[in-house]
Amino acid sequence: MIFSKDIEKINEKLLQLGYGTTVMHATGGYMQAPQDLVFCVVSNRNLNRVKQAALAIDNTAFITISNVSEVNGNGFSTWFNDENTNLRSLNDMKELSSRRNRSEGKL
């Protein structure tokens, strides 16, 4: 999440860079002042690019970074088959992929 007085410019820059964003309107807890923020989910390898873009526009921007265990939808990977809902490990996923490839003749 990025909090800034220049949230419109930061949002536009992130969109130009090809990142999806959500702009939210919030109220500060202490001062009760309205505050806009932009929410953007990116991979670790793109994190510095997003931070640099935001800080180039507003070097006082308040940026929070959180680890996310899963993202589904809008360009992110999704497992839809019921057989995938009970996967317990990476080895289970590899085995499932291998079985699919064999059944499709891809070996």
**What pLDDT is recorded for position 13?**
97
CA 37 to chain centre: 15
In 3D space, the residue among 78, 75, 96 whose CA is nearest the CA of residue 87 turns out to be: 96
pLDDT for position 80: 52
The residue to which tokens 């994190």 are assigned: 47
pLDDT in single tens digits along all 107 residues of the chain: 999 999 999 999 999 999 999 999 999 999 999 999 999 999 889 999 999 999 999 999 999 999 988 877 766 655 555 444 554 555 666 676 777 777 766 55
